Amino acid sequence: MFTKTGLLALCAAASFNGATAAHHRHRHPKRDVVYAETDVVVVTEYETHTVTAGQEQATTVPTTAVSTSSQVAAENVPVVVPTSSETPAAPTTPTTLATFVKPSSATPSTAVSSSAAEAPLVAPAAATAAQLVSSIVGDITSTPIAAPAAVDTASVAPAALPTSAAAPAEVSPASTTSSNVSKRGAAYNDASMVKVLLGQTNAISWVYNWGADAGDLGVDIPFYPTMWGDKVAADWPAKAQAAVDAGTEVFFSFNEPDNAGQANMAPSYAATKHQEWMNPYGDKARIGAPAVSSSEEANQGLDWLQQFFDACGGNCKVDFCNTHWYGPGGDSGADLFLAHVKAVRDVSGCQGKPVWITEFMPQGSSSENETFMKKITEALESSDYDFVEKYSYFMLAVGETYLMSSATELNALGKIYANLS
C-alpha cells in the first residue's frame, strides 16, 4: 500500500486471564507508532493495541500539546495531546480486547511530530489467538495507515507477510458501488489482498486502510479516508480535498483517541480538533465520530466517547458512531460483541445515528473464531441490527485470526466473512 518498505513485529502474549491477548498490529491494545529509519526515508509505524475487557492496563491521557511538525514519532515514544481541564483517570486493567485495546500501559508525556516519506505498509504476519501482533505502518501522511501494534513491546520479532511469486491479477469486484446493500468492508494494508478478495465475492462493498488515501488499490470500490490524528494534521486538508474531488462519501475521524498507543487524545481536545479538521467537510461527505476501543475502563471506550460528545456541545459534525472490538471467540464472545454494539447505539450522542464497527476480532481457537464469525455476521445482517450500517473485520492479512491463509487464498474464517461458506 505504500511505496517504501515497512517493518512488522510480533509480540508474544499472555492468556486472557493474565494479560490481554491482542491482535492488531493493532491488537487492541492497538497500534503503537513505530518509526523505522533508513538512509532514504523515515517510516512511520502506526501500531494498534488490543485490550480485553476488564484487563486493560493503566493509561493516562496526555496533557501536553501535540506537535504536528513534519517528523515521525518512534514506536513507544509517548504521544502528548493537549487537553482541557479534565484529565481522564488512568485505567488499570485491560478491557475486552479492545481495538487491540492495549493491554499495555503507556503514559504519553512528550509531544509527537509527524510526517515521513511514503513507505509501504506491511500487514501482520500469521499469528495465533494467543499472540499479540505488532505491525509497522507506512507513512500515513502519504499512504494508508497500518493496522495493529503489539500491546507489550517486550520481545518483538520481525515478521514478513507471505507473498506469492506472482501478484494477483487485477479484478473488477462483482459489486462496487456505494449503493451495494452489503454492510461488509475490508480493512487492508496490502492492496493485492483486496483484489484477491473482490475476485471471489461480491459481499464486500467498501474498504479502508487507516490512511487518507487508497495507495495502490487499483480496483473500483468505495475507499473511505481516515483522519488518524495529530500526526497527519499537516497533510490532511490536501488529502481530504483530493478525496472529496474523487467522490468519497465518508470520512473517518480519529483512530482510537482513547488509546494511549493510538491517536491518544483527551475528549475535549478531540472535540476541538474534530470541529477544526472534520466539520469543514460535513456538507461534502458523511463524518464518523472518533473510532473508540472496546475498553471498559474509565476515560476509555464508550466513557471516552460520551465525554467527547459532551465536550462537543452539539457543534461536532457526526453522522454515525464508530467502534472497535476485541474479545473472546465462540458463542460467548459473539454475545459480548453484539452487546457492545448495542451499547454503542445507546450512548446519548449516538442515539438515532447508525453504528459502524470498523475493527473487530475474536481471540479464540480456530473453531471458536469460526463459530463467532458465523454468529455475528448472521446477527449483523438481521433486522435486529438494522442500526448497524457497516462493519469490517480486522483484517486482510495472513494468519489464523485474520482472513487469509496466504497472500492469494482466503482461510476458513475469511471464507465465512466473504459469505463463501
Q: In the 3-class helix/strand/coil scheme, how is 370-403 assigned residue by residue?
A: HHHHHHHHHHHCCHHHCCEEEEEEEEECECCCCC
Supply the pLDDT for residue 192: 97
| 303 contacts 334 by C-beta, under 8 angstroms | no
Enclosing H/E stretch for 26: strand 26-27
3-state class of 31 per DSSP? strand
Residues ≥6 apart with Cβ < 8 Å to 349: 289, 305, 306, 308, 309, 310, 312, 318, 321
| 76 contacts 109 by C-beta, under 8 angstroms | no
Supply the pLDDT for residue 344: 99
Residue 421 CA to residue 418 CA, distance in Å, equals 8
Supply the pLDDT for residue 363: 97
Supply the pLDDT for residue 296: 97
C-alpha cell at 47: 501500531
Any bridge partners for residue 184, and if so which? 391
Of residues 295, 394, 402, 282, the one with CA closest to residue 340? 295
Supply the pLDDT for residue 333: 99
188 alpha-carbon distance from chain centroid = 10
Sequence-ordered alpha helix ranges (H) in 199-266: 236-245
Low-confidence residues of the chain: pLDDT under 50: 1-48, 57-180
Supply the pLDDT for residue 181: 65
Supply the pLDDT for residue 167: 37
Does the predicted model carry a pTM greater than 0.85?
no
| 144 contacts 1 by C-beta, under 8 angstroms | yes
Residue 325 CA to residue 345 CA, distance in Å, equals 14
Residues ≥6 apart with Cβ < 8 Å to 360: 324, 325, 326, 337, 376, 391, 392, 393, 394
Distances (CA, A) of 48 to 37, 192, 281, 307: 20, 22, 27, 22
DSSP codes of every residue in 102-114? -SS-----S----
Q: In degrees rounded to 5, what are phi and psi of residue 34? A: -120, 135
Supply the pLDDT for residue 35: 37
Distances (CA, A) of 24 to 47, 118, 338, 387, 389: 7, 22, 20, 26, 23
Q: In degrees rounded to 5, what are phi and psi of residue 121? A: -95, 135
Q: In degrees rounded to 5, what are phi and psi of residue 136? A: -90, 135
Supply the pLDDT for residue 53: 56
E runs forming strands in 28-171: 29-37, 42-49, 132-135, 156-158
